[in-house]
């Protein structure tokens, strides 16, 4: 790697951190850059997952105001997210990717539509978190599996799930997404550090950019009106679904 490559990785990490903490689309920015640098797909995916641990750290630090009152719900969902992330990492290391390639565009497309058509709610103060339903728990596990496996637009899936099942406004749903996906990604990354082909020379500059960018993302969500932000997230997710669909079904 050259110094210019490292600079591009820092910039890619910054972009991934911002988009990941805002819309859950970090891998849409970072993964193609790793492929462009010549990393094989599995190595790029594993390396990207390890670097995105710092995306989770920055996102959670920036989301602390929105997480007030959410500790009981997160405490119940955290083990589910961790189990899902570990499962997804194991799936990546032991199975071919062809099965996921066909279903992922549909999942991302449906989640993006759910974000676009979900009714808007007036802002409200934090309310006591209710016990998660079985539908929410199952959905968190499945999204965490996908997050540990690859993760492109996993945040879109999880935001849509949280908006529908918890009745929380977008900033609080986004904050919960940052925590749960951060946990799923971290446990998958730990697995990859032990047995995966991690390219550490790439992880360091990419992670540095992710940490800075992800710290800014929740501030954007907090200050930008919810309606246009939901539109951006939903349309970006639809664009990614179309792109992945063309690759998978061509």
pLDDT in tens, 45-75: 889 999 999 999 999 999 899 999 888 999 9
The answer to whether residue 212 scores a pLDDT higher than 90 is yes
Intra-chain end-to-end CA distance of the chain, in Å = 34
Neighbouring C-beta atoms of residue 225, cutoff 10 Å: 8
pTM of the model: 0.80
Residues composing the chain: 250
The confidence band for 214, taking pLDDT boundaries of 50, 70 and 90, is very high
Number of continuous H segments (helices) and E segments (strands) in the chain: 11, 0
Q: Which residue has the higher pLDDT, 24 or 220?
A: 220
Alpha carbon of 125 to those of 17, 65, 152: distances in Å?
27, 11, 31
């Amino acid at each position: 790697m050259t110094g210019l490559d490292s600079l591009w990785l820092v910039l890619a990490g910054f972009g991934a951190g911002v988009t990941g903490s805002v819309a859950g689309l970090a891998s849409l920015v970072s993964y193609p850059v790793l492929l462009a640098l010549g990393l094989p797909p599995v190595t790029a995916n594993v390396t990207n997952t390890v670097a995105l641990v710092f995306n989770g750290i920055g996102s959670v630090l920036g989301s602390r105001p929105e997480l007030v009152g959410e500790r009981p719900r997160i405490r119940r969902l955290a083990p589910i997210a961790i189990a899902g992330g570990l499962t997804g990492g194991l799936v990546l290391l032991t199975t071919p990717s062809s099965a996921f390639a066909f279903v992922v565009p549909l999942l991302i497309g449906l989640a993006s539509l759910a974000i676009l058509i979900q009714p808007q709610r007036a802002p409200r103060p934090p309310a006591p978190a209710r016990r998660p339903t079985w539908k929410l728990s199952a959905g968190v596990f499945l999204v965490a599996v996908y997050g540990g496996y690859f993760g492109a637009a996993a945040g879109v899936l999880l935001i849509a799930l949280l908006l529908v099942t918890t009745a929380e406004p977008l900033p609080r749903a986004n904050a919960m997404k940052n925590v749960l996906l951060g946990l799923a990604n971290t446990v998958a990354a730990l697995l990859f550090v032990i047995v995966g082909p991690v390219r550490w020379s790439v992880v360091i500059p990419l992670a540095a950019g992710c940490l800075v960018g992800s710290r800014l993302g929740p501030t954007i969500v907090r200050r930008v009106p919810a309606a246009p932000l939901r539109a951006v997230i939903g349309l970006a997710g639809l664009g990614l679904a179309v792109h992945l669909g063309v690759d998978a079904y061509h």
